[in-house]
């Protein structure tokens, strides 16, 4: 994915948000939204960023619907388990270090945000490929077992992309 394709993608997303907010899909509204989106992207890339980040990450669009469905399922499962822990009250919060095999920085960001979004775990810090995770029910401090229990299938799905 090169720079121009990336900019076109951003323009399309801005246009979609504009059309949702304006609620009347006419050609005039679409033209105004498209020109505003192009102006915003041009301003952002020329004036604000000075082309500092020349690296554009590669994304696989096909895995994302599956990933989001799996994420929603995991959020509900972990939420119900957390309600059980609130009622019984036996919790052992602690901090564990885990390691990931992903190399792309964007995918590590997705993985960390998914860990934070799932109830019961919060990512605190990242250094390279090591993540520091605060865990509600800390059963083991071993790096591999804890990583297996926290990351689950998220990492496997992301590694395919």
Partner 1 sequence: MQQIIGHIIIGIGLLFLAFGILGIFRFSNFYARILVASKIDTVAFLTILAGVIVRQGWSAFSLRVVLILVIMLLINPLITHIITRSAYLSGYKVKKED
Q: Which residues are at the interface with partner 1 (CB under 8 A)?
A: 17, 20-21, 23, 72, 75-76, 78-79, 82-83, 85-87, 89, 91-95, 112-113, 116-125, 134, 136
Least separation, in Å, of the C-beta of 18 and partner 1?
11
C-alpha–C-alpha distance, residues 24 and 20, integer Å? 8
Which residue number, 32 or 80, has a Cβ lying nearer to partner 1? 80
Say if residue 27 is exposed, middle or buried (CB neighbours under 10 Å; 0-12, 13-18, 19+): exposed
Which residue number, 38 or 71, has a Cβ lying nearer to partner 1? 71
C-alpha–C-alpha distance, residues 92 and 61, integer Å? 38
Q: In what order do the strands lie in the sheet with 130-135?
A: 94-99, 130-135, 121-127
Contacts of residue 85, Cβ cutoff 8 Å, sequence gap at least 6: 91, 136, 137
Least separation, in Å, of the C-beta of 133 and partner 1?
10
> What residues form DSSP beta bridges with 61?
none
Which residue number, 54 or 128, has a Cβ lying nearer to partner 1? 128
Which residue has 């959020």 as its token pair? 75
Least separation, in Å, of the C-beta of 4 and partner 1?
25
Count the helices and strands in the chain (H runs, E runs).
6, 3
Which residue number, 46 or 129, has a Cβ lying nearer to partner 1? 129
Which residue number, 102 or 112, has a Cβ lying nearer to partner 1? 112
């Amino acid at each position: 994915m090169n720079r121009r394709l990336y900019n076109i993608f951003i323009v399309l997303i801005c246009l979609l948000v504009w059309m949702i907010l304006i609620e009347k899909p006419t050609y005039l509204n679409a033209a105004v939204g498209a020109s505003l989106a192009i102006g915003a992207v041009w301003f952002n890339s020329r004036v604000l960023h000075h082309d500092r980040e020349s690296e554009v990450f590669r994304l696989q669009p096909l895995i994302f619907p599956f990933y989001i469905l799996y994420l929603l399922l995991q959020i509900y499962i972990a939420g119900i388990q957390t309600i059980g822990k609130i009622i019984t009250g036996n919790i052992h919060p602690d901090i564990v270090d885990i390691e990931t095999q992903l190399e792309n920085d964007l995918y590590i960001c997705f993985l960390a945000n998914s860990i934070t979004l799932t109830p019961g775990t919060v990512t605190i810090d990242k250094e390279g490929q090591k993540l520091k995770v605060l865990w509600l029910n800390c059963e083991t401090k071993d790096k591999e077992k804890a990583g297996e229990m926290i990351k689950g299938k998220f990492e496997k799905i992301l590694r395919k992309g």
